[in-house]
Chains A and B, each alone.
Chain A
């Protein structure tokens, strides 16, 4: 079974440019999460999709960040325009949603390798 895949693995862009990160979750996983780790800091939650709907976007830093998950499959995270402080590693994770079947159930989140974004 394929894991969570992220593209690109690295991206170096200039300040003011636009970058789009992509995440392909594990097939059948309704939950998709974006996280970010700025150098030296903890991994921080950005947002959570359930299928194509944004369940929680409380971690999005500002309106320069736009996440989409059209059709409930892959997701994109666009940064426009990029600033120096956006540099970091962006992780995507996915998990099954067993809520409908079993009620509250704790499921494991599987992570991608991350995209290292450097804004210069």
Chain B
């Protein structure tokens, strides 16, 4: 039984570029959430999507956007990358509890 999968596992970008991160939820889960974990901090909520609709948004700038597809997979897009966007980006799918994927490590140089 596959868990939450994320791709890529690691990514290096330069300032000003954009990035797309991908997430596939656990089969049967219709909800996907995105979190950013900066080194030394806990995960911080970015978005949640349920049935392809945005259900919640954290305190992140408009450079961050996301969408969910008919198969419930999701993409997180970040434009105009800043050094401070370097972090582990976690995706979680949910039935009652949130189950996290392994994350994508983004490094912005």
Question: Is chain B found bound to chain A in the same assembly?
Answer: no
